[in-house]
Chain A
Amino acid sequence: MSEELKGKELGPFVYIVWHKKIQDFIEATGDENPIYLDDGAAREAGYDGKLVPLSFANATGSMALWGAIGALKVDLSRLLHGGHEYEFIKPVRDADFLTTTMRVADIVDKKKLKLYILEGTTVNAAGEVVLRFKTTLIERKG
Chain B
Amino acid sequence: MVRELYFEDVSEGYEIPPLVRDITRSRILKYADAGGDYNPIHVNEEFARKVGLGGIIAHGMLSYAFLVQMMTNWLPKPTYLKRLGAEFRAMVFPGDVVTCKGKVVRKYVKDGENYIECEIWCENQKGEKTTIGMAVATLPSREQK
Contact = CB atoms under 8 A, between A and B. Distances in A.
- CB-CB nearest 7 A-B residue pairs: A85-B85, A24-B34, A55-B68, A55-B65, A25-B34, A28-B30, A28-B31
Interface residues of B, number: 41
Interface stretch (A3-11, A74-82, A106-114, A118-126): A74-82
B61 A62 contact: yes
- By size class, the interface of chain A is 35 or more
Interface in A19-59: 21, 24-25, 27-31, 33, 35-36, 44-47, 51, 53-56, 58-59
B66 A29 contact: yes
Contacts, number: 124
Interface in A69-90: 76-88
Interface of B: 1-2, 21, 27, 30-31, 33-37, 39-41, 47, 50-51, 59-62, 64-66, 68-69, 72-73, 76-79, 81-88, 133
B98 to A, nearest CB: 11
Contact of A24 (B33, B59, B69, B86): B33
B51 A78 contact: yes
B129 to A, nearest CB: 13
A16 interface: no
B60 A25 contact: no
A29 B60 contact: no
B35 A58 contact: yes
Contact of A84 (B27, B60, B69): B60
